[in-house]
Amino acid sequence: MSSKKKLSYSKILLKLSGEALQGNLGYGIDNLTLERIAKEIKEVSKLGVQVSIVIGAGNIYRGVSAAAQGMDRTTADYMGMLATAINSLALQHFLEKEGAITRVMSALELNRVAEPYIQRRAMRHLEKGRIVIFAAGTGNPYFTTDTAASLRALEIDAEIILKATKVNGVYDKDPVKYKNAKMFKKLKFMQVLEKELEIMDSTAISLCKDNKIPICVFNLFQRNNIKSIVLGKNIGTMVS
């Protein structure tokens, strides 16, 4: 119980991009990267934090870019949803290798490999200490996995969304291209929308704003960042 007292957040939703899983490969799934992410998530879960996860599909498939190349947007988005299911099963494998108990819950019917997403059942899994991975976005085309993350966070009463990136937080311009890029420590939702800062899409940001769920944008590739955030350390950019 003593560890629970130190927690700043006891129920989180972690948003991972598909690109996060590819490591240095440039595409697909890098096992070493996934193993490291799984270890960190398991460690946070051991503290008594209820952990749920939404993963994108950028390492396998991008609906919007395919639509731009002439494919029907609805078909492209469904292909993207199936790609998130592949990523979810991969993460589940590595989490279970670490001894975590997990459930993959899908917004599309994939009964052989995942449970259907039911809000009350998801809450129950989390209460029992299981790590829940939400696959297939919202189950609807035209919605990103960012929006799915905001929606699931609301449905399960998450206290915060942790948005994993490759950089330390939110900057006024691309820190990879510009050495003088300035990082924000704190932002208001309206500033994100007005400045068109590409943290998450505007639907996701608006959902969080209207329902007062903070978003912490942090660097996934600095070790123990997830754990530091749940223990109240000032990491990344806080949007509230």
pLDDT, mean of each 10-residue run, the chain (240 residues): 72 96 90 97 98 95 74 91 96 98 98 98 98 98 96 98 95 89 95 90 96 97 96 96
* Single-letter residue type at 151: L
**Shortest CA distance to 50 belongs to which of 230, 235, 238, 234?**
230
Residues 6 or more apart whose CB falls under 8 angstroms from that of 122 comprise 52, 103, 105, 132, 134, 152, 155, 156
What is the structure's pLDDT at 5?
55
2-239 has CATH 3.40.1160.10 classification: yes
Q: Which of 163, 142, 167 is nearest to 55 (CA)?
A: 163
> What does the alpha-carbon distance between residue 177 and residue 168 come to, in Å, rounded to a whole number?
14
Amino acid in the structure at residue 230: V
What pLDDT score does 65 carry? 73
Q: Which helix (H) or strand (E) holds 5?
A: helix 2-6
The domain limits of the chain are 2-239
Residue 63: per-residue pLDDT? 64
Instruction: Please write the tens of the pLDDT for every residue from 75-89.
Output: 999 999 999 999 999
- Rounded Cα distance between 24 and 143, Å, is 28
pLDDT in tens, 98-119: 999 999 999 999 999 999 999 9
Q: Are 229 and 162 in contact (CB under 8 A)?
A: yes
pLDDT at 3: 45
What is the model's pLDDT at position 1?
Answer: 42
- Kind plus residue range of the DSSP H or E element containing 238: strand 237-239
Q: Report the Cα–Cα distance between both ends of the chain, in Å, rounded.
A: 29
